[in-house]
Amino acid sequence: MTRRPHERPDAGLAARICLQRGALRVDLELAVLAGEVVALVGPNGAGKSTVLRALAGLLPLQQGRTMLGSMIMDDVDAGIREPSHRRPVGVVFQDYLLFPHLSVLDNVAFGPRATGASRHDAREKARQALRRVGAAELSTLRPGRISGGQAQRVALARALATDPQLLLLDEPLAALDARTRLMVRGELRRHLADFAGATLVITHDPVDAAVLADRLVVIESGSVVQTGTPTEVARRPRTEYVARLVGLNLMTGTGHGHRVDVAGGGVVHVAAHSEGEMYVAFRPAAVSLFTKRPEGSPRNLWQGRISGLEPHGEGVRVEIGALHLGASILAEVTQAAVADLGLRPGSTVWAGVKASDVEVYPR
Amino acid sequence: METRQRHRERVLLGKVPWLLAAPALLALLFLILPLLGLLIRAPWPDAWQVITDDQAVQALRLSLITATVSMLIAMVLGVPLAWLLARSGLPGLGVLRALITVPLVLPPVVGGVALFTILGRSGLLGRPLFELTGFAFPFTPYAVVLAQVFVALPYLVLSVEGALRTADSRYEEAAATLGARPMTVFSRVTLPLIGPGVAAGAVLAWARALGEFGATITFAGNFPGTTRTMPLEVYLALETDPGAALMLSVLLLAVSVLVLVLLRDRWVNRW
């Protein structure tokens, strides 16, 4: 991973967070360097928001310790818990939570004003922050009068106006429609790149995560299941959830040279040498479908039954079950292929994957 | 579009079951008819004379001043109490809330007697106060205010507490993450957000104070100019001059409605 020039390992976030929320037990370690953008990714109910609230001081830890630079924010053993208002942490909430009774300018000036700046200085600072995110012209409006994309920018300006060392963003793009989202995502990426502190973005959208973050931390049921750059995670998923998130077929098995005995009972041939407990993954687009057993066949060929078809981008996603693999796989084919081959739920097909298209990596 | 909506509404109204419609209509009549009776039977030709009568003017002035002071006191004390109930999470709040609702259901006369036992000249707090300063509450305008605050405060507290419960407390969390201390959060975020609720509570408290009779006559007495408020004046007039009593009632009704309308426009629907 290339490190940005202004990344400072000594000034970032180092946290161990343990707490129980209903049936969910969160227990994880998290480190974000200053200047680094980390995306916390996971399914609903994985504990993403709990982590954010704990870091913002809105939820007490049951065990653990959080440090930001040299400041201890929480230390359960030492009985330390800094209240929210004394943490150098800025938060952009999911639905932004701009104060409806204040103008955009006063929303952004709220932080500086609350931390002791004079009214004049606070407004000046707010004007600068709004200018930086390109929202200066909104200053006099009430939050009820601005669009979702504009509210997102204002919320970011408000969080940054307090000069935080840690910026937390909770699903920053989830409240936006698809068109706005595309535009705001690019903008947000630029603003986050300019921010000198540590940034933690919570998202369940793989594209948001890949665009915004330098590194992903995937959590499921309150624990970290995988970390890495977006490319690493997308190429070598380690759980069913991540595989589905990035749209890959994933299986576990035991490697014996160029073959992997899959946990469900089948065999996958791979190009790379493998030994021991392995993951195998391949893209749905790498799967070819045939109605008859093909000649000059690829190394991997499985017979199965189509259990579902759904449009996906330009093409069609085909789910094939009842293979000799103990798992169903996804194939991605063109609309034309679906018509030519007469594919429909219940059809019997042969699915082929070249050994060189299968990624294999240790568990 | 709009006509279709209207049409649908009328169809729905046509289907209101009579088991609901009949008692509803009865309730409406029951509430409106007495007010109409007041307006119909009031001796309008004597209106000016009754209203400008010295005693009536005195009573109205006292009523308006004491009710307004009581409302302000209820707000200063009641909003923090409502906050404590809705946000503090302290143990025993259920019991506290129950205690607060007692004055709400207590007959006001009993409230007046209760105030006497505490703040009367020989009351638990009233006696030391009298011995130290020579001052006693009963039979002063201060007693009128105390009686009114006692009956009006629960209305304000419950109304503001309701507003606090329905207000989105995540705005307060957002304010805290921006560096605002709890007191700043309260004054700059919580209070503006529950403004309409506080206004509604204040209007209720004001109206309740303006109409207060039982606790006032028991605890403050009935002295013209110092403790005789409008409701007391109306009651007395009813024995001597029923026509004047009607006219004064109309006046009180008009003042209440006017204030209600003015406050609604000014305080509610601010954003």
For residue A316, give its domain range.
247-362
Query: Are A196 and A328 members of one domain?
Result: no
pLDDT score of A8 = 52
Q: Does A2 reside within a domain?
A: no
Residue of B170, B171, B178 best to disrupt the A interface, most CBs of A under 10 A: B178
Q: Are A109 and A71 in contact (CB under 8 A)?
A: no
CA A45 to chain centre: 14
| Distance, CA of A116 to CA of A180 (rounded, Å) | 36
CATH of B46-267, one of 3.30.420.40, 1.10.3720.10, 3.30.43.10, 3.10.20.30: 1.10.3720.10
Which among A58, A99, A142 has CB closest to B189?
Answer: A99
> Which helix (H) or strand (E) element contains residue A312?
strand A300-312
Number of domains in chain A: 2
My answer on whether A23 and A65 are in the same domain is: yes
Q: Do B181 and A84 touch (CB under 8 A)?
A: no
In chain A, the residue whose alpha carbon lies closest to the alpha carbon of B195 is A101
Task: Give the residue with greater pLDDT, A207 vs B35.
Answer: B35
Token readout for A108 is 């952004």
Cβ B176–A93 below 8 Å, yes or no? Answer: no
Q: Are A216 and A233 in contact (CB under 8 A)?
A: yes
The answer to whether residue A333 is domain-embedded is yes
In chain B, residues with a C-beta closer than 8 Å to the C-beta of A114 are: 175, 178-181, 184, 188
The pLDDT of residue B268: 53
- Contact assignment for B178 to A97 by CB distance below 8 Å: no
Compute the average pLDDT of residues A125-131.
95
Which residues in chain A are contacts of B171 at CB distance < 8 A?
97, 99
Supply the Cα-derived Rg of chain B in whole angstroms: 23
| Nearest residue on chain A to B196, alpha-carbon basis | A101
Q: Which two tokens stand for residue B248?
A: 């004064």
Mean pLDDT (chain A) is 89
Mean pLDDT confidence for A9-32: 90
Are A158 and B178 an interchain contact pair (Cβ–Cβ within 8 Å)? yes
Beta bridge partners of A290: A350
> Which residues in chain B are closer than 8 Å to A91, comparing Cβ atoms?
174, 177
pLDDT at A1: 41
Q: What is the pLDDT of residue B12?
A: 57
Question: Residue A82: its chain B contacts at CB < 8 A?
Answer: none
Label residue A28 by pLDDT band (50, 70, 90). very high
Within a domain: residue A3?
no
| pLDDT value of residue A34 | 93
- Segment B57-110, tens digit of pLDDT: 999 999 999 999 999 999 999 999 999 999 888 888 889 888 988 888 899 999
d(C-alpha A346, C-alpha A348), whole Å: 6
DSSP code of A308? E
Of A244, A279, A302, the one marking the end of a domain is A244
Task: Verify whether the Cβ–Cβ distance B174 to A56 is below 8 Å.
Answer: no
**Among A244, A265, A287, residue at a domain's last position:** A244
∠ Cα A348 A349 A353 (to 5°): 155
Cβ neighbours of B180 in A, within 8 Å:
85, 110-111, 114
Decide which of A363 and A141 is more confident.
A141
Mean pLDDT to the nearest integer, A174-201: 89
Give the whole-angstrom CA distance, residue A330 versus residue A247: 9
Q: Which residues of B touch A89 (CB under 8 A)?
A: 177
Choose one of A244, A277, A298: the last residue of a domain. Answer: A244
Q: Is residue A3 predicted with pLDDT exceeding 70?
A: no
Is A97 within 8 Å of B170 when comparing Cβ atoms? Answer: yes
- Please answer whether residues A236 and A247 qualify as being in contact, where contact means their C-beta atoms are separated by less than 8 angstroms: no
CATH number at residue A330: 2.40.50.100
- Based on the domain organization, do A180 and A323 belong to the same domain? no
For residues A207 and A71, membership in a common domain is answered with: yes
**A227 and A193 both lie in a single domain:** yes
Determine, for residues B270 and A93 on separate chains, whether the beta-carbon distance falls below 8 Å: no
Co-location of A293 and A149 in the same domain = no
Q: How far apart are CA B116 and CA A313, in angstroms?
A: 80
Instruction: Please tell me the distance in Å from A120's CA to the nearest CA on chain B.
Output: 17
* Residue B145: CA count within 13 A, CB half-sphere: 16
Predicted local confidence at residue B47, as pLDDT:
87
Asked if A101 and B180 come within 8 Å (Cβ–Cβ), the reply is: no
Q: Which long-range contacts (CB under 8 A, 24 or more apart) does B82-91 make?
A: B82/B156, B82/B157, B82/B158, B82/B159, B82/B160, B82/B161, B82/B163, B82/B164, B83/B160, B83/B164, B83/B186, B83/B190, B85/B157, B85/B161, B86/B161, B86/B164, B86/B165, B87/B164, B87/B169
Q: Where residue A11 falls among pLDDT bands split at 50, 70, 90?
A: confident
Task: Tell me the shortest Cα–Cα distance from A166 to chain B, in angstroms.
Answer: 11
Whether residue A266 is found in the same domain as residue A181: no
Question: B82: closest CA among B17, B160, B189, B193?
Answer: B160
Q: Do residues A169 and A153 share a domain?
A: yes
For residues A226 and A118, membership in a common domain is answered with yes
Contact B177 A90 (CB under 8 A): yes
Instruction: Give yes or no for residue A5 having a pLDDT over 70.
Output: no
Domain annotation covers residue A222: yes
Residues belonging to chain B with any Cβ–Cβ distance to chain A shorter than 8 Å: 168, 170-171, 173-182, 184, 188-189, 192-193, 195, 270-271
- Whole-number pLDDT of residue B101: 86
Residue B183: closest CA among chain A residues belongs to which residue? A114
Residues of chain A in contact with residue B177, where contact means CB-CB under 8 angstroms, are: 56-58, 84-85, 87, 89-91, 159
Range with lowest mean pLDDT among A194-203, A354-363, B163-172, B257-266: B257-266
Distance from CA of B182 to the nearest CA of A (A): 8
| Contacts with A115 from chain B: Cβ below 8 Å | 179
| Complex prediction ipTM | 0.81
Cβ-Cβ contacts under 8 Å for B173 (sequence gap 6 or more): A56, A58, A84, A97
CA dist A76 → A62, A63, A80, A88, A237 (Å): 7, 6, 6, 19, 34
Q: Are A57 and A17 in contact (CB under 8 A)?
A: no
Mark yes or no for CB contact A162/B178 under 8 Å.
yes
Q: Which residues belong to CATH 1.10.3720.10 in chain B?
A: 46-267
**Are B174 and A142 an interchain contact pair (Cβ–Cβ within 8 Å)?**
no
What's the pLDDT tens digit per position in A133-145? 989 999 999 999 9
CB within 8 Å: A99 and B174: yes
Percent of chain A with pLDDT over 90: 52
- Judgement on whether residues A18 and A151 belong to the same structural domain of the protein: yes
Between chain A and chain B, how many beta carbons pairs sit less than 8 Å apart?
Answer: 68
d(CA A153, CA A70): 30
> How far is it, in rounded angstroms, from Cα B25 to Cα A352?
76
Query: Is A325 found in the same domain as A192?
Result: no
Instruction: Of B198, B209, B227, give the one whose Cα is nearest residue B152.
Output: B209
Instruction: Give yes or no: residues A303 and A194 share one domain.
Output: no
For residue A32, what are the β-bridge partners?
A13
Cα A196 to chain centroid distance, Å, stands at: 21
Confidence label for A295 from pLDDT (cuts 50, 70 and 90): confident
For residues A104-124, average pLDDT: 95
Is residue A148 a part of any domain in this protein?
yes
Q: A98 to chain B nearest CA, in Å?
A: 8
Q: Enumerate the residues of chain B whose CB falls inside 8 A of the CB of residue A102.
A: 192
Quick one: closest CA in A to B171, which residue? A97
**Which among A115, A142, A144 is the nearest to B179, CB-wise?**
A115
The whole-number pLDDT of residue A30 equals 95
pLDDT digits (tens, 9 = 90+) for A255-285: 998 889 888 788 888 988 888 899 999 989 8
CATH number of the domain enclosing A164: 3.40.50.300
* Per-residue pLDDT tens listing for chain B (271 residues): 444 555 555 555 567 788 899 999 999 999 999 999 999 988 889 888 888 888 889 999 999 999 999 999 999 999 999 999 998 888 888 898 889 888 888 999 999 999 999 999 889 999 999 999 989 898 999 999 999 999 999 999 999 999 999 999 999 999 999 999 999 999 999 999 998 889 889 988 999 999 999 999 999 999 988 999 999 999 999 898 888 899 999 988 998 888 878 776 665 554 4
